[in-house]
Amino acid sequence: MKKSAAIVLMVLIGILIFGIITWGGIYNQLVSGEEKVSTAWAQVQNVYQRRLDLIPNLVETVKGYAAHEKETLEKVIEARAQATKVDLSTEQIADNPELLAKFQEAQRGLSSALSRLLLVVEQYPNLKADQNFLALQSQLEGTENRITVERMRFNEAARDFNTLRRTVPHIFVAKFSGFKEKAYFQAEAGSEKAPAVKF
């Protein structure tokens, strides 16, 4: 009787050890996935900050040539201020996906204001020839491209994490350990239509 009790006890201890090791491995995979999402989010914030840093120089350059475009310049400055008010962590995105939508909306407002500013610039040939403006415009265009790439990378990291989180047995560890689903950047309404290009 003692031998069979010892065997049962050893089997139970083996199952417990196997369970702990499996749980730990799954937990580590979820932590790794969450860190990839956090890193991707930090890159998104980095490129948005780069755009915010370029705007004051762009506005000052345009102001020198187009002083009577005060309203347009003020709208860019106001949109920049609104965009800086919305700062999120990956935890906030998981807890409240509406905050990501609010962040996107603020960034959309800034993009719209910048587009209006660049349209106004078309009326000033001297400004379009200014080397400082051309350099700033080029940096801004490059930054907009980086924003697109980093948002895509963030969405990929969020998708990978969300997929991992929803698979068995990861779903049990995720729910018990508090790993929450990550939100995605959404395309703007009407973005499926190609913009009209006019020269």
Q: Which residues in the chain land under pLDDT 50? A: 192, 194-199
Q: For 68-79, what is each residue's pLDDT tens digit?
A: 777 888 889 999
Boundaries of every domain in the chain = 2-177
State the DSSP string of 49-98: HHHHHHHHHHHHHHHHH-TT-HHHHHHHHHHHHHHHH----HHHHHH-HH
| Percent of the chain residues topping a pLDDT of 70 | 92
pTM across the whole model:
0.82
CATH 1.20.1440.20 fits 2-177, yes or no: yes
